[in-house]
């Protein structure tokens, strides 16, 4: 973790130089939600991939077949994200890249397997169980990849969420006696700390689609690889969902809100959780802090469920889902920054 922090901080300036050479620049006003003051480099993805590559070369004995497959899939996500940062892709090519990366993982057996339990119990055939496993894997990988990309609406949000989620994956993997997953969770934690430094503290560059999507894909992959030791399979599956609960919440909020208002789901708008908190009177920094504190709280609950009886853990889980949905409905009724700006223009 410490070494990946040093590498990601040390590679900051080279990543910016390469981003400038590739003309990876986010221009203010190029979309309605791009309200930053000056042209800003999109170097987050380059820095993340460079850090992962260096750590893989230095610690080759920790690169298992499964990790190599995950890093290969993350590379596909990065390349399509880099293309998007450079040219600005529509939703179709982005989805194709995510499908390629997801199918790459599935083809090497990196996928969810819990529907196989229904097959063993005799409820469904093995073929149906595998089909369901593949569909859930695709939904999980593509959903979380896009969730981290969509929530990337303010400096430090995604990097901070990456720090929190990877830290808890690190701890959960250690408890589950999964040293390789624990090692790479620590690497992603260190990389996210470096990204947070350059994106939030130094404010030198944005993560871009190449950075945010790659973090999302890695976290989603780690969630599938996580297999708790001596923990109840009836409830341990909820841990990865809770660890990534805030991006899932934000994506659900945005999608439902835009469908309700008959807006394009993939359009760039100021209607995310962060924007709604600002519209409620939060300062930008406190809005980011509120998002991170919510992620931290839910992650603590996720760890708590590992030590509870399965049924009690599931009650906790569904209570969080119910509370989250109620809060979502309340927040959806509040004005967005888009609504506020239209009101000011009308005035």
Residues 157-180 have pLDDT tens digits of 999 999 999 999 999 899 889 999
Q: What is the value of pTM for the model shown?
A: 0.91
pLDDT over 90 percentage in the chain: 63
Residue 38: pLDDT over 80: no
Residue 5: pLDDT over 60: yes
Residue 197: pLDDT over 60: yes
Instruction: Work out the number of other CB atoms within 10 angstroms of the CB of residue 12.
Output: 22
Strand spans (E) along the chain: 25-26, 40-42, 205-206
Q: Is the dihedral of CA 197, 198, 201, 207 positive or negative?
A: negative
Spatial separation of the C-alpha atoms in residues 94 and 218, rounded to whole Å: 16
- Average pLDDT, integer, range 232-247: 82
Pick from 38, 33, 37, 26: nearest CA to 341: 33
3-state DSSP assignment of residue 282? coil
Helix or strand run (H / E) with residue 236: helix 233-236
User: Confidence band (pLDDT; 50, 70, 90) for 234?
Assistant: low
pLDDT at 95: 95
pLDDT at 231: 63
Q: What are phi and psi of 205, to 5 degrees?
A: -155, 165
Q: Is the dihedral of CA 160, 161, 167, 170 positive or negative?
A: negative
3-state DSSP assignment of residue 156? coil
Give the up-direction half-sphere exposure of residue 181: CA atoms within 13 A in the CB hemisphere. Answer: 24
Residue 198: pLDDT over 80: yes
pLDDT (tens digit, 9 = 90+) per residue, 46-59?
A: 999 999 999 999 99
Order the strands of the 205-206 sheet from edge to edge.
Answer: 25-26, 40-42, 205-206
pLDDT at 46: 97
């Amino acid at each position: 973790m410490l070494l990946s922090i040093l590498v990601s901080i040390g590679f900051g300036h080279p990543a910016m130089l390469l981003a400038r050479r590739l003309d990876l620049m986010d221009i203010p006003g190029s979309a309605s939600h791009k309200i930053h003051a000056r042209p800003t480099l999109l170097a987050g993805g380059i820095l993340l991939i460079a850090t992962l590559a260096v750590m893989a070369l230095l610690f080759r004995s920790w690169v298992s077949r499964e990790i190599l497959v995950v890093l290969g899939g993350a590379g596909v996500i990065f390349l399509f994200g880099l293309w998007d940062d450079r040219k600005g892709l529509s939703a179709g090519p982005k989805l194709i890249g995510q499908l390629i990366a997801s199918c790459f993982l599935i083809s090497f057996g990196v996928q969810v397997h819990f529907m196989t339990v229904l097959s063993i119990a005799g409820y469904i055939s093995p073929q149906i169980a595998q089909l369901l496993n593949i569909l859930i894997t695709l939904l999980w990988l593509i959903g979380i990849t896009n969730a981290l990309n969509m929530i990337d609406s303010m400096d430090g949000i995604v990097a901070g969420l990456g720090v929190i989620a990877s830290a808890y994956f690190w701890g959960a993997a250690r408890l589950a006696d999964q040293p390789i997953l624990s090692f790479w969770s620590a690497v992603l934690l260190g990389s996210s700390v470096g990204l947070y430094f350059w994106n939030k503290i130094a404010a030198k560059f944005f993560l871009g689609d190449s950075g945010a999507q790659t973090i999302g894909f890695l976290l989603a992959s780690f969630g599938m690889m996580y297999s708790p030791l001596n923990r109840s399979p009836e409830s341990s599956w909820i841990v990865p969902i809770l660890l990534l609960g805030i991006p899932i919440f934000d994506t659900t909020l945005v999608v439902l809100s835009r469908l309700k208002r008959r807006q394009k789901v993939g359009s760039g708008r100021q209607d995310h959780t962060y924007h709604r908190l600002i519209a409620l009177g939060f300062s930008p920094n406190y809005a980011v802090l509120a998002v991170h504190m919510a992620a931290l709280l839910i992650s603590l609950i996720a760890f708590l469920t590992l030590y509870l009886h399965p049924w009690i853990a599931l009650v906790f889980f569904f209570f969080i889902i119910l509370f989250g949905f109620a809060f979502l409905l309340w927040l959806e009724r509040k004005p967005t920054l888009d609504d506020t700006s239209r009101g000011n223009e009308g005035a």
